[in-house]
Amino acid sequence: MRVLVTGGAGFIGTHLVDALLERGHDVVSYDALLASAHTGPARAARPGERLVLADVRDGQAVTEALRGVDAVCHQAAMVGLGKDFVDAPAYVGCNDLGTAVLLAAMAAAGVRCLVLAGSMVIYGEGRYTCARHGPVRPGPRADVDLAAGRFEPLCPLCGDDLAPGLVPEDAPADPRNVYAATKLQQEHLCAAWARSTGGRAVSLRYHNVYGPGMPRDTPYAGVASLFRSALARGEAPQVFEDGGQLRDFVHVRDVASAAATAAEAAGSRAAGSLTAYNTGSGEPHTVGEMARALALAHGGPAPVTTGAYRLGDVRHITADSARLRRELGWEPRTGFAEGMREFAGAPLR
C-alpha cells in the first residue's frame, strides 16, 4: 500500500519510513522541517520514498500529497514541554490545527485509515494505589512541595504514601501541560473524523521514545536526548528532582514497528472508531537509572542529581502495553540495557 507519513523527516518518522519500506510499502514523507526539531537540510529521500517539504497546515499541499494514498501515519507535532507558556499558540497550531487540516483533506480525498502518534502524557500522573483507599488520582503537585523536595504525590484522601502502577487505556485523561492538552485534542479530532467519515483510526500512545537520530541540544527534546547531548559535550547529565521518576523508555525502532503494524492492520478495525494503544517497552525504569546507564555506556561523567523541577512534569507514568501485544501481535525487541548501550554511541540529529 501507499502510506503518507507526516513528520517523515523527523526522529520517529524517519525510522517509521524505513520500517514501511522494509515491509514493501510505498511511502510519501511530508515534513515542514520546523527549526525546533531540525537544524540542517532535509535528509535524502530513501529509495521508494517521495519526500514532500511542506507544512501540514497547508491544505493544498496536503491534498496533493494524499493522491493515491491508502493510509496515513500522522507523526508531525511539536513535542516536549517547550520553553514557557508563550509556546502555547505554536503547540496548538502545529498539533491541533495541523491535525484538523490533515483530517479535512483525508475526508475529501476518501482516505479512511489513520495511525496517530499519540502520547502517554494525556494521562497526567500515572496509576496510584493507597493502602487504605485503593486506587486514587492525586492532583497536580504544588510548587511549594516541589521546592521543598517533596516530589512524591500523596493520597488526596488521607495524605499517606502511594504505590505507582501501570495505567490502562481506559484510564481518565488528565493532561498537565500544553503539549499534553494538544495530544488529547488530537485524539478527539481523530475520533470525530472517524465517526463522520466511517474511517478507522488508531492512536499509539507512545512512552519515552529514544534512539539514534534524536534531535540534540533543544528544549523540545526528550530527557534521553538532553542527557546524551550533555555527554557528547563532556558534561554530566543533569537529573531533575531526585531521579526517582518512573518512566518507560522504548526504543524508536520498536515504536516504528508498532506504527507500521498498526497501519497494516488499520483496515481491519471497526469503521467509525478510534482505538488507543499504550506503546511502551514494558520495562519501567527511573530517570536516574537511565542517566546512569547512558553515562556508563558512554564513558562520560556520572550524572548529577540537582533537585530542580519543572511545573507540569508528572512524577510517575508507566502504562500497560499488553493490549497492543495481544491485539496486533507487536512485541518490543530492544531491551533497556542493549538500547542504552547503542544510544550512548549513536549519532544525534
pLDDT of 220 over the 70 cut: no
Angle at 233 between CA 179 and CA 13, to 5 degrees: 40
For 198, which DSSP code? T
pLDDT digits (tens, 9 = 90+) for 87-110: 899 999 999 999 999 999 999 999
178: which 3 cell numbers?
Answer: 500544553
- Relative to beta strand 304-305, strand 238-239 is parallel
Domains in the chain, CATH or no CATH each: 2-127+165-345 (3.40.50.720)
pLDDT of 219 over the 80 cut: no
pLDDT digits (tens, 9 = 90+) for 142-160: 999 999 999 999 999 999 9
Give 161's contacts (C-beta < 8 A, 6+ positions apart): 152, 154, 155
